[in-house]
Chains A and B, each alone.
Chain A
Amino acid sequence: MLTVSDLHVSYGAINALSGVSFTIPQGAIVTLIGGNGAGKTTTLRTISGLLRPRRGSVTFRGEDITALPAHAIVARGLCHVPEGRMVFANLSVDENLAMGAYLLRDRERIARNREFVFGIFPRLKERLRQTAGTLSGGEQQMLAIGRALMGDPAFLMLDEPSLGIAPRLIATIFEKIVEINRTQGLTILLVEQNANLALEVSAGAYVLETGRVVMQGPSAQLRDDPQLRATYLGGGPVG
């Protein structure tokens, strides 16, 4: 569904990505793992058109989207939930959700998506009129994901959904991510520092290190890889 090939991105003189390539099949959850500065967020931002690559291409459903502006990429069904608490802090929860359906014109479809989002995150319905800046970290993350789902994406990119969130809420959010993938057939690219968690929910994984893919394979297999365990999974015994 999405193919990234030979992506080179630099910030000024610093190379953030030097030749990243991967493919994500339709309906799968695939994860990108790696330490700080490995290039995970840069990869997502380049795919969604927020950054321009120096070389390489991004192909989505057979179409080259490398040079498209961000809003045109969203219009093609590829939605990015940025890292951190990127909600519109001064708008209400309701208005944030409405912004997510910004490109949809069909009112019925918007209403259906709202109900779907409330089904997944009932908490949002309770806080509908509250300004988003006053939500807890976990609630803001739910709102950011809910807002992305309002636009009916075919492909969802999540950047560090567990960042700065209470452990109990992390479990809930990851359950919901799996649920959305199963029930809606939504393809998901997940970027996560918490490699254990990411490998648990995903089918396949790519390991990034200083802007290169250094390891790839089915998640179950990577989980048992001794070298990977030593580097990212705390080095504990297999199990």
Chain B
Amino acid sequence: MPRPLLLLLAALAVSIAISAASAHLDPYFLDVAMGVGIAIILAVSLNLVNGHTGQFSLGHAGFMAVGAYLSSAVTLFLGPSLLGADGGGPLGQGLLFAGALACGGACAACAGLLIGLPSLRLKGDYLALVTLGFGEIIRVIFQNVEALGGALGLIGMPPYTTFGWIYGCAALAVYTVACLVNSTYGRGFLATRDDEIAAEAVGLDTTRYKIVAFVTGAFFAGVAGGLFAHFKLAIDPRGFDFTRSIEIVVMVILGGMGRTAGVIAAAILLTLLPEILRPVAEYRMILYSLLLVVLMLLRPQGLFHRGAKGVRP
């Protein structure tokens, strides 16, 4: 069996094992760890777009919202009738949740395709602005759809999200991105980032690569949204505004664009930091921001950057 696949299976097994033991773990620790896992999915999926493919997107929270709302709609509105009177048992609920997550991811991917087709013709800051705009449009749409709770949002989702679900999905996201980028096909993402004109000149359809990256990234953001909704059990449109997108972008930049390990480390660090800083109460966010500034000054290329370019191992 190839090594990446083995690693994936090992990660899945560990997540499920920890999940099974979660009743014995400190609830606070578990809560924070689950938040970290969702951040990892978001950061790794955005890294495919912003880091590996070099297309600066600022709309990731919008795709997260699509996943959160659509998967919640599935479990809230279709769940009861699908599960029947006895509640469906653990297997029935698991299948329903898997279906809800897949549906949330797929809808987010469709939104990604719709937004990506026109906007990926733009470059750099133009693309960033357009994706920012689209992200906000998605949020405003949810705010105005009464069937999905409008400005109040949705509450009462069943608490399906467990440690195992989150880290299982995180492992899957890391595996998918790694396989995409390290394949012969995937070198096209890196080539598109390094030099678009040269990539076109050797015969790459760069538009297609950008869209594949964008849609895959949106899919996992949607899955993360679904996990988030069934973890916090209440969602409202304000939770998916553009500060959320910025948070994810910061993780990618701090981790080092295109460095998966670095981006994971940054996702962990930036989710833990506000928790660690709790004792300083009101100065928390000031300190958090200061630390960010210091980190960027010390490691402008990101936490895990290769450093000086040179011979590759």
Contacts and interface: CB of A to CB of B under 8 A. Distances in A.
B146 interface: no
Contact of B201 (A74, A89, A130): A74
Interface stretch (B37-45, B128-136, B226-234, B305-313): B305-313
Given A91-B190, A99-B191, A86 B198 contact: yes
Interface in B2-38: none
Contacts of A100: 202
B203 A74 contact: yes
A145 B202 CA distance: 11
A178 to B, nearest CB: 22
Interface string A84-110: 001111111001001110110000000
A4 to B, nearest CB: 18
Contacts of B199: 88, 99
Interface stretch (A6-14, A75-83, A161-169): A75-83
B67 interface: no
A70 to B, nearest CB: 4
A70 B310 contact: no
A62 B184 CA distance: 33
A89 B194 contact: yes
A131 B312 contact: yes
A117 interface: no
Contacts of A86: 195, 197-198, 201
A98 B312 contact: no
Nearest to B54: A90
Interface string B285-313: 00000000000000000000000011110
Nearest to A83: B197
Residue from the set B193, B200, B204 with the largest chain A CB neighbour count within 10 Å:
B200
Contacts of B204: 71, 99, 102
Contacts, number: 84
A52 interface: no
Contact of A70 (B193, B201, B309): B201
Residue from the set A81, A88, A98 with the largest chain B CB neighbour count within 10 Å:
A88
B310 A90 contact: no
Nearest to A81: B201
Contacts of A129: 311-312
B123 interface: no
Contacts of B184: 98
Given A89-B194, A91-B187, A98-B184, A70 B311 contact: no
Contacts of B197: 50, 82, 86
Interface residues of B, number: 21
A8 B195 CA distance: 26
A99 B200 contact: no
A85 B190 CA distance: 17
Contact of A80 (B187, B194, B201, B205): B201
Contacts of A130: 310-312
Contacts of B190: 88, 90-91
B79 interface: no
Nearest to A74: B203
Contacts of B203: 70-71, 74-75, 102-103, 151
Residue from the set A50, A102, A133, A147 with the largest chain B CB neighbour count within 10 Å:
A102
A148 interface: yes
B188 interface: yes
Nearest to A134: B309
A219 interface: no
Contacts of B188: 99, 102
A144 interface: yes
A34 to B, nearest CB: 21
Interface string A132-172: 01100000000010011001000000000000000000000
B312 A87 contact: no
24 contacts: A50-B200, A70-B201, A71-B200, A71-B203, A71-B205, A86-B197, A87-B195, A90-B194, A90-B309, A98-B184, A99-B187, A99-B191, A99-B199, A100-B202, A103-B203, A130-B312, A131-B310, A131-B311, A131-B312, A134-B310, A144-B198, A147-B202, A148-B202, A151-B203
Interface of B: 184, 187-188, 190-191, 193-195, 197-205, 309-312
Shortest 6 CB-CB contacts between residues of A and residues of B:
A74-B203, A88-B194, A86-B198, A70-B200, A103-B203, A80-B201
